[in-house]
Amino acid sequence: MKIFNTMTRQKEEFVPIKPNEITMYVCGPTVYNYFHIGNARTFLVFDTIRRYFEYRGYKVKFVQNFTDIDDKMIKRANEENTTVRELGDRYIEEYYKDADGLNIERATVNPRATEYIEEIIKFIQDLIDKGYAYEVDGDVYFSTKKFKEYGKLSGQNLDDLQAGARISVDERKKDPMDFAVWKSEKPGEPSWDSPWGKGRPGWHIECSCMAHKILGETIDIHAGGADLVFPHHENEIAQSEARSGKPFANYWMHSAYLNINNKKMSKSLNNFFTTREILEKYDAEVVRLFMLSAHYRTPLNFSDELLESAKASKERLYNAIGNLERLIDEVKTENLKEEEKAYIENLNSYKGKYIDKMDDDFNTADAIAVIFDLIKDINTNIGVDSSKELIKYCLDLIRELGKPLGILQKSTIEDLNSEIEALIEERQQARKNKNWALADKIRDDLKARGIILEDTPQGVRWKKAE
């Protein structure tokens, strides 16, 4: 399996630290608001990568943090006249609603920064003891000059970075590129006791600390959106490696932006749609097909046309599934026929192609194209003469290839059942309201689709027309 490593700027063969287990840390949201569909791209991409690892037989320890203390949290809590804690509680709950709505698997652990304050303080103390951090008036800064490899992830050297940073020199820092790991208390802000007085952690330190604590000093994969390469991940590397003397992560992965009118979608530019708004119009599978139709390292422009086209793709895929589900009930032969054996091999060749694409740095766009080729082949070659066993094999294979992408797991039969039940319920309501026209229309529409309603003493029953 090959992964593009931001650190080395090339695709590398993936070799995990332990043979069958992967440790993965993905930077998560600041929980002061609903997350937008741009954030969703990053969450979806790494959810898909995690699912694919699982498909390939790895156990994945997947950690994604919640940043629940920073300037944005404090500002928002003040605006809403609430506490930072309560704000965090509320938006973590909302995060789960939207993430579940997108069919994102729950992380192994979702640590919150404020629950690791004690460990963060210890981490900072270690940095001070080793000479990598210094205290000034209750603030603690990381000394970038001391960490010789500073800039290695983003490919910049400290001199260039300093030239760019000159504008905002903080007198108290030894060097303009030094960054805060601990911030002293300001009036009205939440704070914790520490050896340097009351204060709160800087942003970068939480990820270094929680990754070490939960996953270990060297992890397999550290990931996030492209905007995190500098300074966030650069600073995480400096803190973590200064403290442990070991590589922090063996592979650094960054997903490209979701843009809108070719600009990064972001809260600050106010050019975003919340995930919630989009999920009202399109279901999770449509959103996932849209997001995964581009390679994760290619910027993707948000548009209604692309979402509509993803919706049409989803319908084509489920039409094929629906046909197979109906055929299974219709065909006469149970077991695989001798002449069908070669076709099984043909089906398996699609699985091979799919794995080749996904193994090549998670090329979801091409993997989806393989699923479409598979479905085209099935549509032309499977019919009333096929055996049940072969049709089931086709269905299972489609589902198998859909699973890592978080799609194609539903049954069209269940969908149809619940849709019919809902329409029957609507018709009953219409009858109660003496809206006979609507009640008749629902019955006639269903009849046109081959569904017959029968009013019985036990309630309404339905059956398929012969």
Binding-site residues for ATP: 267
d(CA 333, CA 21): 43
> Among residues 3, 27, 181, 408, which is the contact residue for Zn ion, using CB under 5 A?
27
> Among residues 207, 327, 358, 423, which is the contact residue for Zn ion, using CB under 5 A?
207
Within 13 Å and on the Cβ side, how many CA atoms surround 232?
A: 17
Q: First vs last Cα of the chain: how many Å apart?
A: 51
Beta bridge partners of 143: none
> Footprint of ligand AMP on residues 260-289 (CB under 6 A)?
264-266
Closest approach of ligand AMP to the CB of residue 88, in Å: 13
Pick from 111, 128, 110: nearest CA to 181 = 128
Residue 375 contacts Zn ion per CB under 5 A: no
Torsion angles phi and psi, residue 418, rounded to 5: -70, -30
Closest approach of Zn ion to the CB of residue 48, in Å: 20
Task: Report, in angstroms and rounded to the nearest whole number, the Rg of the chain calculated over CA atoms.
Answer: 27
Pick from 381, 376, 357: nearest CA to 368 = 357
Known binding-site residues for Zn(2+) equal: 27, 207, 232, 236
- Residue 248's binding partner, choosing from ligand AMP, Zn ion, none, with beta-carbon cut-off 5 to 8 A by kind? none
Nearer to Zn ion, 252 or 290 (CB): 252
- DSSP assignment of 186-216 equals -TTS--B--TTSSEEE-HHHHHHHHHHHHH-
Size of the residue set binding ligand AMP (CB under 6 A): 16
Burial 128-142 (b: 16+ CB within 10 A, else e): beeebbbbbeebbbb
> Footprint of ligand AMP on residues 23-62 (CB under 6 A)?
27, 29-30, 38-39, 41-42
Nearer to ligand AMP, 73 or 331 (CB): 73
Closest approach of ligand AMP to the CB of residue 252, in Å: 13
d(CA 202, CA 287): 34
Closest approach of Zn ion to the CB of residue 116, in Å: 13
Closest approach of ligand AMP to the CB of residue 43, in Å: 7
> Footprint of ligand AMP on residues 219-258 (CB under 6 A)?
224-225, 227-228, 257-258
Closest approach of ligand AMP to the CB of residue 42, in Å: 4
Residue 404 contacts ligand AMP per CB under 6 A: no
d(CA 12, CA 296): 16
- Angle, helices 234-244 vs 117-129, to 10°: value is 70
Binding site for Zn ion (CB under 5 A): 27, 207
Binding site for ligand AMP (CB under 6 A): 27, 29-30, 38-39, 41-42, 224-225, 227-228, 257-258, 264-266
